[in-house]
């Protein structure tokens, strides 16, 4: 008796591979959900460990950045792995898992920026509406010049601080993209190395 073999047709449309948007959206939702949970957890740890002195501020900043970096790697690797695992097909190349992970990172970044910008606008609008009257706004605008001068004199920010902050933000985003791409590659690889069920 001859064994039947299934011929798997590659998912192509005009010579291009079909993209599994379901897998990409699933990975994006995983990254947003895990990001919210880990951010709340990190915030609670920061509030408990906060010490109101200059050394405490520095330790909080360094520890918070390291925790954010580790959390970002874990979140984006997991979301990339989920995307790659769900997008795996017999005809797909393992290297495309990195592309799936990178697309997941891009979509998660766009959605996170959109949500954060709207939340910030909502908060500032309602804060000014609830806690500041019209006379308060007039006094605030009249004293803006003197307050700015006093603030600049009291808080002298080093010239290198913005450059360091931008560089650290770049490192965070770059590591997140690499982790998501690597997770997508590992997700497709794990799906393809599973033993077939008979």
Q: How far apart are CA 162 and CA 84, in angstroms?
A: 37
184 with 84: CB under 8 angstroms? yes
Joined tokens for residue 26: 């699933």
Q: What is the reported pLDDT for 46?
A: 65
Q: What is the reported pLDDT for 148?
A: 47
Q: What are the residue ranges spanned by the domains of the chain?
A: 20-113+161-192
Matching residue, tokens 């360094």: 62
102 with 88: CB under 8 angstroms? no
Q: What is the reported pLDDT for 88?
A: 78
Q: What is the reported pLDDT for 147?
A: 46
Q: How far apart are CA 38 and CA 29, in angstroms?
A: 14
Q: What is the reported pLDDT for 174?
A: 94
Joined tokens for residue 127: 């804060």
Q: What is the reported pLDDT for 142?
A: 52
Joined tokens for residue 110: 């766009």
Q: What is the reported pLDDT for 67?
A: 82
Q: Which residues contact 6 (CB under 8 A, 6 or more apart)?
A: none
12 with 72: CB under 8 angstroms? no
Q: Is 98 exposed, middle or buried (0-12, 13-18, 19+ CB in 10 A)?
A: buried
Q: Which residues contact 149 (CB under 8 A, 6 or more apart)?
A: none
pLDDT tens, residue order, the chain (198 aa): 455 555 445 554 444 457 888 999 999 999 999 998 988 887 777 666 555 666 656 666 777 788 888 989 999 999 999 999 998 776 677 788 899 999 999 999 999 899 888 777 777 776 666 555 444 544 445 554 554 444 444 444 555 677 888 888 899 999 999 999 999 999 988 766 654 554
Please give the DSSP secondary-structure letter assigned to residue 92: S
pTM: 0.70
Q: How far apart are CA 143 and CA 162, in angstroms?
A: 27
Please give the DSSP secondary-structure letter assigned to residue 94: T
């Amino acid at each position: 008796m001859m064994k039947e073999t299934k011929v798997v047709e590659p998912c192509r449309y005009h010579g291009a591979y079909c993209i599994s948007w379901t897998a990409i959206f699933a990975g994006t939702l995983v990254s947003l959900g895990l990001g919210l949970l880990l951010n709340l957890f990190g915030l609670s740890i920061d509030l408990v460990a906060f010490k109101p002195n200059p050394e405490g501020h520095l330790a909080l900043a360094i520890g918070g950045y390291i925790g954010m970096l580790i959390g970002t790697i874990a979140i984006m690797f997991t979301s990339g792995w989920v995307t790659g695992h769900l997008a795996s097909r017999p005809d797909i190349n393992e290297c495309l898992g990195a592309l799936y992970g990178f697309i997941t990172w891009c979509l998660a970044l766009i959605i996170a920026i959109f949500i954060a910008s709207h939340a910030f606008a909502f908060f500032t609008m309602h804060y000014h509406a609830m806690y500041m009257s019209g006379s308060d706004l007039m006094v605030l605008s009249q004293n803006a010049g003197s307050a700015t001068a006093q603030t600049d004199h009291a808080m002298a920010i080093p010239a290198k601080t913005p450059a360091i902050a931008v560089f650290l933000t770049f490192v965070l985003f770059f590591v997140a993209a690499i982790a998501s791409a690597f997770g997508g590659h590992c997700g497709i690889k794990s799906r393809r190395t599973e033993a077939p069920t008979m």
